[in-house]
Homo-oligomer: A and B are copies of this chain.
Amino acid sequence: MAKKNLEEFAYKSIIKMILENHFKPGDFLLETELSDSLELSRTPVRHALSLLVAEGFLDKKKKKGCFIPSPSPQDARHVFYAREHIEGLAAASAARYASAGDIEFLYDLIEKEKNVENPGTREAKIAYVTINESFHLGIARISLNKYLEQYCRHSFWRSHTYIFFFDRYYSGLNPNGQKTSPRQHMEITKAIADRDEEKASDLMKQHVRTTFEQLFVKL
Given A86-B151, A145-B78; A54-B51 close (CB under 8 Å): yes
Question: A147 interface residue, CB < 8 Å from B?
Answer: yes
The interface residues of chain A, by DSSP majority, are classed as helix
A85 near B89: Cβ-Cβ < 8 Å: yes
Question: A81 interface residue, CB < 8 Å from B?
Answer: yes
Chain B residues with CB under 8 Å of A148's CB are 78, 81-82
State the interface size on chain A (CB cutoff 8 A). Answer: 27
* Other A-B pairs, 15, CB within 8 Å; known A56-B146, A78-B146: A5-B62, A47-B50, A50-B50, A50-B51, A50-B54, A54-B54, A54-B55, A56-B150, A75-B146, A78-B145, A81-B145, A81-B148, A82-B89, A82-B147, A83-B147
B47 near A78: Cβ-Cβ < 8 Å: no
Question: A200 interface residue, CB < 8 Å from B?
Answer: no
Chain B residues with CB under 8 Å of A151's CB are 82, 86, 151, 154
A99-129 at interface with B (beta carbon < 8 Å): none
Alpha-carbon distance A86/B5, docked complex (angstroms): 34
Question: A79 interface residue, CB < 8 Å from B?
Answer: yes
Given A50-B50, A89-B85; A79-B155 close (CB under 8 Å): no
A78-98 at interface with B (beta carbon < 8 Å): 78-79, 81-83, 85-86, 89
Question: A179 interface residue, CB < 8 Å from B?
Answer: no
Chain B residues with CB under 8 Å of A86's CB are 86, 151
Question: A158 interface residue, CB < 8 Å from B?
Answer: yes
